[in-house]
C-alpha cells in the first residue's frame, strides 16, 4: 500500500511526479529514528511544531532549549523538554494528546529532519510517539548561527488581520513554516524559504508565495487538496518575536501564472483569518542570513 493519501497522490499527479514520489515512498513508512538522526537531534536548540487547536485551526510554533532538550528515549519516541509559552496559540492544545508535525532544522549547516506523530503532555514538556521520520530537502534554507538568550515573552497581540508593521515584516521575510493536516488529522510541518520578497502580502489578509522545485512528495499540497486549512509561522530571527497566522490556502496550478514568477512551479494564495504575535517568544537570536544558492531571484 502507498504511504501517500489520496490528496498527496492527486497533487503528485498534477505535478507530473508520480513515479519519482513512488521511489521515495519507502522512507515514509519508518517510525524509527535512525542513529544519525538521534545524534543530530541531541545537538539542536530548536524545533518547529505544528498542530490543530481545539477550534480546528492549524498553527505552527517554535520550541527552543539547550542542546539535549530533544531526547530520543525509544526507537520511535521523542521527548521535548519545552512547551509553548504564554500567549502561544498552541499552548492549550498541547495540554492534551494531539497529532503533531515537526521539523528540526540546523540553519548553520542546512541539515534537517521531519517527524510526525502524536504528542502527549509530560511534567517536563512533551512526549511524541512517532509515526513517520524522514529527511527533507535542504534547498532554500538560509544559513544562520544562533545565540541563546533568556526568553521573556511579551504580551501576545491577537487580531484577524495583519497590521502595517506586520505587513512590512512579511514582505521582507526569507523563511516561514507551514502546518497542514489531512482529513484524519495527520499533521505535517514544512519549511519554505527564498530571497526576501518571495513571500508577498498584497493586503492585511492576503498572502502569496511561489512553490519552488522540492522533494516531489507534496505532503503539504496533498493535505491542501483535501483540507485547505493551514497555519504559518514567521520567526523574527533578530528579536525572537513569533508571528503566527492561521487561515486557508489554495494552490494555483496554472503554469501560465507561475511563469511570471522566477523559479515558481506553481503559486499558493493564503487568506489570513487569525493572527497572534508574541514578542521575544524565542530563547534564541540568530545572525544575519547567508542566503541559499538555490533561491531564485525575486
Element (H, E) at 210: strand 206-211
- Sequence-separated (6 or more) residues with CB below 8 Å from residue 239: 279, 280, 285
The class level of CATH for 6-286 reads mainly beta
Residue ranges covered by each domain of the chain: 6-286
Instruction: Give pLDDT tens digits for 44-65.
Output: 999 999 999 999 999 999 999 9
User: Starting at the edge strand that comes first in sequence, how are the strands of the sheet with 125-134 ordered?
Assistant: 58-64, 46-52, 98-106, 111-122, 125-134, 77-80, 70-74
- Sequence-separated (6 or more) residues with CB below 8 Å from residue 73: 79
**In the structure, what pLDDT confidence band is assigned to residue 152 with cuts at 50, 70 and 90?**
confident
Per DSSP, the three-state class of 273 is: strand
Query: Which pTM value belongs to this model?
Result: 0.96
pLDDT at 51: 98
- Sequence-separated (6 or more) residues with CB below 8 Å from residue 16: none
**In the structure, what pLDDT confidence band is assigned to residue 195 with cuts at 50, 70 and 90?**
very high
pLDDT at 26: 82
Q: Which of 21-35, 90-104, 129-143 has the lowest mean pLDDT?
A: 21-35
Instruction: Give pLDDT tens digits for 1-54.
Output: 678 999 999 999 999 999 998 988 887 768 999 999 999 999 999 999 999 999
- Sequence-separated (6 or more) residues with CB below 8 Å from residue 176: 191, 192, 193, 199, 232, 233, 234
**In the structure, what pLDDT confidence band is assigned to residue 150 with cuts at 50, 70 and 90?**
confident
> CA 8, 12, 13: angle at the middle one, nearest 5?
115
pLDDT at 249: 98
Amino acid at each position: 500500500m502507498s504511504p501517500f493519501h489520496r490528496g498527496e497522490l492527486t497533487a503528485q499527479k498534477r505535478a507530473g511526479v508520480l513515479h519519482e514520489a513512488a521511489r521515495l515512498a519507502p522512507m515514509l513508512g519508518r517510525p524509527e529514528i535512525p542513529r544519525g538522526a538521534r545524534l543530530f537531534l541531541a545537538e539542536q536548540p530548536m524545533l518547529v511544531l505544528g498542530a490543530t487547536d481545539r477550534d480546528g485551526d492549524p498553527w505552527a510554533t517554535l520550541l527552543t532549549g539547550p542542546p539535549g532538550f530533544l531526547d530520543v528515549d525509544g526507537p520511535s519516541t521523542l521527548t521535548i523538554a519545552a512547551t509553548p509559552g504564554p500567549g502561544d496559540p498552541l499552548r492549550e492544545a498541547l495540554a492534551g494528546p494531539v497529532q503533531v508535525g515537526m521539523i528540526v532544522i540546523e540553519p548553520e549547516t542546512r541539515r534537517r529532519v521531519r517527524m510526525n506523530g502524536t504528542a502527549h503532555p509530560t511534567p517536563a514538556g512533551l512526549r511524541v510517539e512517532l509515526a513517520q521520520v524522514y529527511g527533507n530537502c535542504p534547498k532554500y534554507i538560509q544559513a544562520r548561527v544562533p545565540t541563546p538568550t533568556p526568553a521573556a515573552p511579551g504580551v501576545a497581540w491577537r487580531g484577524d488581520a495583519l497590521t502595517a508593521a506586520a505587513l512590512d515584516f512579511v514582505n521582507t521575510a526569507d523563511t516561514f513554516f507551514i502546518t497542514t493536516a489531512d482529513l484524519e488529522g495527520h499533521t505535517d510541518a514544512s519549511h519554505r524559504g527564498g530571497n526576501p520578497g518571495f513571500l508577498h502580502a498584497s493586503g492585511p489578509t492576503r498572502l502569496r508565495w511561489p512553490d519552488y522545485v522540492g522533494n516531489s512528495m507534496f505532503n503539504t499540497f496533498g493535505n491542501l487538496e483535501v483540507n485547505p486549512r493551514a497555519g504559518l509561522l514567521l520567526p523574527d530571527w533578530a528579536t525572537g518575536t513569533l508571528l503566527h497566522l492561521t487561515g486557508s490556502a489554495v494552490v494555483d496550478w496554472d503554469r501560465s501564472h507561475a511563469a511570471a514568477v522566477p523559479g515558481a512551479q506553481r503559486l499558493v494564495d493564503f487568506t489570513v483569518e487569525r493572527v497572534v504575535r508574541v514578542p521575544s517568544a524565542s530563547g534564541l537570536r540568530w545572525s544575519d542570513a547567508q542566503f541559499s544558492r538555490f533561491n531564485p531571484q525575486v
